[in-house]
Structure 1
Amino acid sequence: MNKPIHESETRTVRDLKELLPERWKLIKLKLVCNIETGFAFPSEVFGETGTPVIRITDIKNREINLSEIKRVDDLLLKSKPKRPSVNKGDIIMAMTGATIGKVGYYNSDKPSYLNQRVCRFIPASIDRGYLWHTLNSEIYKKYIELEAFGGAQANISDSQLLNFPAPLPELEAEQQKIAQFLDYETAKIDALIDEQKRLIELLKEKRQAVISHAVTKGLNPDAPMKDSGIEWLGEVPEHWEIKKLKFCSRMLSDKGKDNTNAISLENIENGTGAFIKTESNFDQEGVLFEPLDILFGKLRPYLAKVYLAREHGSALGDILVFRANKDISPEFLFFRLISQEFIRQVDQSSYGSKMPRANPELIKSLQIAVPPIEEQVKVSDYLANLQFNKIMPSVINASSLVKLLEERRSALISAAVTGKIDVRDWQPPAGSDTVDSNASVQTERHYG
């Protein structure tokens, strides 16, 4: 059932219509394109071979990511769609959940099925490239927010998606020109975004490499070394001791409520130990912790959710809490537990396929290299300075630039598909490629 039209939506449409150029009209998408929705495949038929099935989780970064795609063997299906309906260049959208309205294009030569709550747009009398950018515009995203129904999980129907009053130039040639312009300009912005994201990954890799080296080899490159006898540790300084984690710390189990500082896995950033503030409100018991205790996420340990507490609180859900012994620096132990090698050892011994969890007893039995307390402090001070004064500021700056570029991209698309900028006379710079920048437009050129 369609919801009543919101007053804010009515006002938005009226204001938009008044601002459109005279040669433009507001036309509901259902008059210029169609939608095909997915099929409810039973989860037990998913496997590693057969025809691909596009799920909501496969829509990533405005494309269909095939790296984790599920497949179905047609021979195992008791009931199935008439044929795989998704072809190269099709525009796919999520119709439910936190990422409702997320759009991606399908760039594989092999046809695919659509799973339930995923749909594809089929342009009829609208340029495919122009449709692509309209679906990526802020005005369409806002429309979905207003129209979506449901409580904990937002949903939207195909009829609602098609009921959107889209701003359209009368001439398809202008639609194509707008699509070409946006392809060219957004490709430049996307290149800058990718460059900053690569920088962020390189900085994080450098951080991990430095941490792993410092907590295993120390800071003195001339220190005499010895074989630790532990394969994953390798050589360590001669004067360092090899100890099991349970002899360096104790795992806490006392529970209670401390809702003023209740921390769950969603509050711990992967791989960095940074605190993430959320809007979640908790009213449950957790393992009580004090400042300088270490919180270690045991669910999906490969995510490396490790946090050094700065104040009292309670750890909720799949979080283990360790308290360093008096001869162990809590900061040093934090860096040891968040290092790639330690996380890898924990992950390799986790159990459960869909929701892998670490075995607390195995974690406590893992052996680590421990320097004298004075050296622990020097190592942790060095790593803290590297993280908080050098690497993390660079990561924050690059992340801020990514956000600004994404906002610029979004504003540019919205301005172009609402006629706020006139690109009818726009021409790409000599020698530039206006086709390869966007797969949806490539398909329009190739398949009409």
Structure 2
Amino acid sequence: MQQSPENLIYTTQEISNSYKRTILKKGDLVFPLRGKIGTVGLINDELVGANLTRGVALIALKKSNPIFLKQLFGSNRILKQLYSSMNGSALQEITIDTLKKFKVVMPDLIEQQKIATALSDTDALISELEKLIEKKQAIKTATMQQLLTGKTRLPEFALREDGTPKGYKDSELGQIPEDWELLSFSEVCTFINGRAYGLHEWEKRGTPVIRLQNLTGRGGDYYYSTLNLPAKQYCDYGDLLFMWSARFGPVIWKGQKAIYHYHIWKIVCNENVDKDFLYLTLEDMTENLKRGSSSGGTMLHVTKEIMESTLAIFPPHAEQLRIASVLNGIIQEIELLVEKLNKLKNIKQGMMQELLTGKTRLV
């Protein structure tokens, strides 16, 4: 839990002093009793002197290292106790009396400090890596906005044959590069509908059927089909898919030969359009739609007819390839950083399991 003085509610000093037991000191731990249960905050200098509101417990320490205790409350062992002790279904909560009954294993203060330092050092590495990924994501977004609109031209495509800079022309989407084309998606690719399945058609073997949750990471289990379908109903590794309902946007399929479900289109590009460039164009378009959506882009929906008639700008094929190459380089760099971050988080969980249970002792 990150603490920040922003978005706080303020009161008078007189009222604050009348609730002295809720005044926070540096090193105090705060614990939400409902909502984000299991998230522990460590009070920093900016929040010293603030009052605690209802629904959050103050953990005032007695001969304990605050950083060690914060790590302990974030461990799997404590989280399991918390989840098994929560009341309610729609709005789960836990009481202070329940928290008081928790039993924890505590080393002496010296060992607490050593463990806290080791885990905090790992947290610092994780935090720096997360900041770097966020920075790279911002660079990717800005670069996409420049290259995919032609506002910035790669050097080898920026000049005419006589050496003068290429200009811009008017279009329905505003100013576009003079040598780019404004085309509808139906002119550059074909959208192929997925197939709907009845419950009686699901099998435990055969060809996997890709559903939305298989593409979004929200569920890895596949249903299977033994039906013999037309070739266009199958997709292979590297094919471009598009989720047109609920979880919205393009995906490059990275799995084995499969069948795609009704809420997914397979997109087949024409010869003059690069698949990677089209993927990036669709990603940029859908991210803009999500940012402008009141639902945060989680429940968008588009029809095939609307998609086919949507206009986008396309450079010559050679420039498409170069733009895709530049952007894919940034994307691959981000993917490597995310992979490194996930490994580091797994290492941290392993350290917590060993150090906070005493299975491994620090010298």
Both proteins in one fold, TM over 0.5 = yes
Per-residue CA shift, 1:289-325, capped at 9, x if unaligned? 6533431466587xxx531345431154xxx646345
Q: 1:369 aligns with which of 286, 302, 313?
A: 313
Distance 2:316 2:140 in 1: 23
Q: Which of 116, 131, 156 matches 1:198? A: 131
What does residue 163 of structure 2 align with? none
Q: Return the alpha-carbon distance in structure 2 between the equivalents of residues 398 and 125 of structure 1.
A: 37
Query: Secondary structure of 2:312's match?
Result: strand
Aligned pairs for 1:83-94 within 5 A: 85=22, 87=24, 90-94=28-32
Distance 1:372 1:63, change over 3 A: closer
State the Cα distance separating 1:369 from its structure 2 match: 1.6
Q: Check whether the contact 2:245–2:300 (CA below 8 A) recurs between aligned residues.
A: yes
Unaligned runs of 5+ in 2: 12-18, 161-165, 203-207, 225-231
Instruction: Indicate whether 1:313 and 2:260 are aligned.
Output: yes
The DSSP-based 3-state class of the residue aligned with 1:165 is coil
SS across alignment from 1:201:
helix
Change (3 A) 1:404 1:137: closer
CA 1:419/1:264 → structure 2, altered by over 3 Å: closer, same or farther?
A: closer
Asked if the contact 1:262/1:315 (under 8 Å) is kept, the reply is no
CA RMSD between the two structures: 4.8
Whether 1:350 and 2:293 are equivalent positions in the alignment is yes
Q: How far off its partner does 1:198 sit?
A: 2.7
Which residue matches 1:188?
Answer: 121
The answer to whether 1:242 aligns with 2:179 is no
Conservation of the 8 A alpha-carbon contact between 1:289 and 1:314: no
1:161-199 Cα distance to aligned partner (Å, 9 max, x none):
332222246xxxx43x44544444443322222222233
Q: CA deviation at 1:133?
A: 4.0
Asked whether the 8 Å contact 2:183–2:311 carries over to 1, the reply is yes
Is the Cα contact below 8 Å between 1:351 and 1:357 reproduced in 2?
no
Residue 295 of structure 1 is matched in structure 2 by 242
Higher alpha-carbon deviation: 402-411 or 246-255: 246-255
Output aligned runs, 1:108-147, within 5 Å: 108-109=47-48, 110-115=50-55, 119-123=56-60, 125=62, 127=64, 129=66, 131-144=69-82
Distance 1:354 1:228, change over 3 A: same
Asked if the contact 1:228/1:242 (under 8 Å) is kept, the reply is no
Deviation of the 1:246 alpha carbon = 4.9
1:386: how far off?
2.4
Partner residue of 1:335 out of 270, 280, 288: 280
Q: For residues 212-223 of structure 1, what are the structure 2 equivalents within 5 Å?
A: 212-217=145-150, 219=154, 220-223=156-159
SS in structure 2 of the partner of residue 63 of structure 1: coil
CA contact (8 A) 2:180 2:313 kept: yes
Q: What's 1:391 paired with?
A: 333
Measured after TM superposition, the shift of residue 240 of structure 1 is: 1.9
- Structure number with the bigger relative contact order (C-alpha 8 A, sep ≥ 6) is 1
TM-score when scaled to structure 1?
A: 0.54
Change (3 A) 1:188 1:154: same
The residue matched to 2:78 in structure 1 has which SS? helix
Unaligned runs of 5+ in 1: 1-61, 74-81, 269-275, 424-448
TM-score by length of 2: 0.64
Query: CA 1:210–1:123 in 2, change beyond 3 Å: closer, same or farther?
Result: closer
Partners of 2:307 and 2:148 in 1: CA distance: 17
Deviations 1:80-126 (A, max 9, x none): xx9995745543335567x65232235535434344xxx41433745
What pairs up with 1:140-155 in 2 under 5 angstroms? 140-144=78-82
SS of residue in 2 equivalent to 1:256: coil
**Residues 261, 300 of structure 1: alpha-carbon distance in 2 compared, 3 angstrom cutoff:** closer
Match of 2:41 in 1: 104
Looking at structure 2, the residues matched to 70 and 363 of structure 1 have their Cα atoms a distance apart, in angstroms, of 44
Alpha-carbon separation, structure 2, partners of 1:167 and 1:239 = 70
Kept in 2: contact 1:139–1:414 (CA 8 A): no
Q: Which residue of 2 aligns with 1:165?
A: 103
Distance of 2:144 and 2:351 partners within structure 1? 36
- The percent of aligned pairs where both chains have the same amino acid is 15
**Distance across 1 between alignment mates of 2:300 and 2:5:** 26
The residue type paired with residue 222 of structure 1 is: A
Counterpart amino acid of residue 158 in structure 2 = D
Determine the structure 2 residue equivalent to 1:278: 219
Of 150, 165, 168, the residue aligned with 1:227 is 168
Q: Spell out, residue by residue over 1:119-155, the C-alpha distance to the aligned partner (whole angstroms, 9 max, x if none).
A: 4143374536254343234442344456568889976
8 Å CA contact 1:251, 1:323 repeated in 2: yes
Secondary structure of the structure 1 residue equivalent to 2:293: coil
Aligned partner letter, 1:261: V
Query: Which amino acid in structure 1 is aligned with residue 261 of structure 2?
Result: S
In structure 2, distance between residues paired with 1:321 and 1:72: 52
For 1:111, give the aligned amino acid: N
Contact 1:295-1:306 at 8 Å conserved across structures: yes
Alpha-carbon separation, structure 2, partners of 1:314 and 1:179: 53
Specify the code of the residue in structure 1 equivalent to 2:345.
Answer: K
Deviation at 1:253, TM superposition (A): 5.6
- Say whether the 8 Å CA contact 1:324–1:333 is kept in structure 2: no
Structure 1 181/201 Cα, relative in aligned 2: closer, same or farther at 3 Å? Answer: same
User: Does the 8 A contact of 1:300 with 1:356 survive in 2?
Assistant: yes
**Match of residue 212 from structure 2:** 264
8 Å CA contact retained: 1:351, 1:358: no
SS in 1 for 2:279: helix
Q: Distance in 1 between matches of 2:337 and 2:123?
A: 18
